[in-house]
Amino acid sequence: MSSKSFNVSVEPTVLIWARESIGMSLDEVADEVAKKIKGVTANTIKEWEKKDSVVKPTFVHIERLSTIYKRPLSAFLLPAPPKETPFPTDFRTLPSKEKQPLKPKTYLAIRKARRFQYSAVELIKELGEESKKLSIKANLSDNPETLAEKIRIQFGVKEFPTATYFTKESALDEWIRILENNGILVFQISITMNKKIRGFSLINEDVPAIVLKKSDETSAKIFTLFHELAHLLLRESGICDLEESDISHEKFCNRFAGAFLVPQDKLLNHPIVKANERIKEWPEDFLKDIAWDFKVSKEVILRRLWILDLTTKEYYHKKHEEWESKYKEPFGKGGKDEIKICLQERGKKYTSMVFDAYERKKIDTIGLADYLGVTSDKISKIKEAMI
C-alpha cells in the first residue's frame, strides 16, 4: 500500500469552492485526475463533494486536485471556503446560447490580478500612505461625452498623445501612467486565447484595477483601458468583450472610451474630417490616417463618425464584420523574458511600491522577491528596467 493512500476528510464545500474557483466541471476534473490516477470518474468527484458521503478522497487524490485547482495542499484543510470578493460580472455580449463558460485560464487570470490587487493594498498600509480615490461616480443615465470631459479634467489631460513621434506603444504607456498616477493599477495578463474576452475590471475601495489582455494588439489595449475605466466609474467589476451591443453597461462603456480617446471637437476639426464632411462611406486610408493621429483603431474612428452622424449604421456594421473576419489573435514571439513579464503583469506603479517598501525596510529581500514573483538574482535587473 502506498504511504499516501490513506483517506483524507475534506470539508465538501471546500472541494466545491476549489473546483468552482477555477471554472471546471465535474467531467473536466475527472478527466484531469484520470491522467495520473485510474478509477476516478465524474461521479467519484460528485461523491467527494457530497455532505456526509462515505466516499473520501485519498491523500494522492488531494495532491492531484491541488495541482489541477492551483491551490496549496493547506487549502484543503480549511474548515470552510474562504470569503472572497464576488466574481466580476460577465458582460460578454454573445447571445446566451452562444456564450461559452469561461475557461480555467481566465479564472486563473482573475485570481492572479486579485493577488496583485490585495498585495497593493497591503503595501499601501505598510508604507502608511493614502490611496487616491475615484472621486467621480458614474451612472448609466450620465452623458458619456460629458463624463469623458470631466475625467480628462480630473486626470489633468490637456494634450493627447497624438504627436507624430508618439507610437501606439508609447501612447499606451502614457495612458497607463496617467491612470496609475490617479490611483488605478493596470495589469497586463494572459487571459485567454478567446478573442471575445479583451479585459476586465476589479473594483476595490482602496485600489481599483484594470486588467488588459497581454496578447492583444496595442490599439485594442488602449480602448480596453478606458472601457474598463468606465466600469470602475460605475463602481462595478466586469469581464468584457467590447463588442457593440444593446447591453446598457457595455454600450455606455464603449461610448465613454470612444469619447475620451477621440473627443468630438478634436475629431470634427481633424483636417481629413473637415475636408470630407459629406462622405458617408469613409475609405480605409482616411480611417487609417485619422486613427494614427488619435492612436486608436480604425473601428474606433468609424464608430465615432457613426455616433456623430457622419456615417451610417449599415456602413459601420459592414466594416465591423469585414474587420472581424480578418482578425487574427496576436502571438508573442521568442522566449520568456522574466523581467519584461514581471513589469508588464504587475505594472510600474505596483513594482515601484514594492521597491519603495523594501528601501524603507518594510519588507526584506525574500518579501521583495515574493511580491515581484521572481528569484532574488532577477531583482537588480527589474530595478534597472524601471529607469
Determine, yes or no, domain membership for 5: no
Q: Are residues 120 and 267 in the same domain?
A: yes
79 and 145 both lie in a single domain: no
* Residue 115 within a domain: yes
At 263, list the grid cell: 473627443
Check pLDDT > 80 for residue 243. no
Q: Are residues 303 and 351 in the same domain?
A: no
3 falls within a domain = no
Q: What percent of the chain has pLDDT over 90?
A: 78
Stretch (H or E) spanning 199: strand 199-202
Of 326, 349, 372, which marks where a domain is finished? 326
Tell which residue, 86, 308, 115, has the closest CA to residue 211: 115
- Report the range of poorest mean pLDDT among 25-39, 192-206, 290-304: 192-206
235: left (phi over 0), alpha (psi -120 to 50) or beta: left
Q: Strand, helix or coil at 186? A: strand
One domain for residues 380 and 343: yes
CATH, residue 17: 1.10.260.40
| 30 and 149 share one domain | no
**Are residue 74 and residue 113 in the same domain, yes or no?**
no
Q: Is residue 96 part of a domain?
A: no
| Residue 153 shares a structural domain with residue 189 | yes
Instruction: Give domain status of residue 94, yes or no.
Output: no
Report if residue 89 sits inside a domain. no
Give 106-147 pLDDT, tens digit per residue: 999 999 999 999 999 999 999 999 888 888 999 999 999 999
On whether residue 120 sits in a domain, the answer given is: yes
pLDDT tens digit string along 18-71? Answer: 999 999 999 999 999 999 999 999 999 999 999 999 999 999 999 999 999 999
SS3 per-residue string spanning 88-122: CEECCCCCCCCCCCCCHHHHHHHHHHHHHHHHHHH
- Number of compact structural domains in the chain: 3
Same domain, 176 and 247: yes
Which residue did the predictor score with more confidence, 282 or 130? 282
pTM flag (> 0.75): yes
Q: Are residues 29 and 79 in the same domain?
A: yes
Q: Which structural domain range is residue 46 located in? A: 12-84
What pLDDT shows up at residue 164? 57
In-domain check, residue 114 = yes
pLDDT in the model for residue 247:
72
Order the strands of the 89-90 sheet from edge to edge.
Answer: 89-90, 238-240, 199-202, 209-213, 185-189
Same domain, residue pair 317 and 372: no
pLDDT of residue 1: 46
**Amino acid sitting at position 223:** F
- Report the alpha-carbon distance of residue 36 to residue 158 in Å, rounded: 59
Domain end residue (candidates: 326, 351, 369): 326
Kindly provide the b/e burial profile for residues 344-376, where b requires at least 16 CB atoms within 10 angstroms of the residue's own CB: bbbbbbbbebbbebbeeebbeeeebbebbebee
Instruction: Choose one of 84, 114, 140: the last residue of a domain.
Output: 84
User: 280 and 226 in one domain?
Assistant: yes
Query: Strand 209-213 vs strand 199-202: parallel, antiparallel, or unpaired?
Result: antiparallel
Same domain, 321 and 371: no
Distance separating alpha carbons of residues 69 and 32, to the nearest angstrom: 10
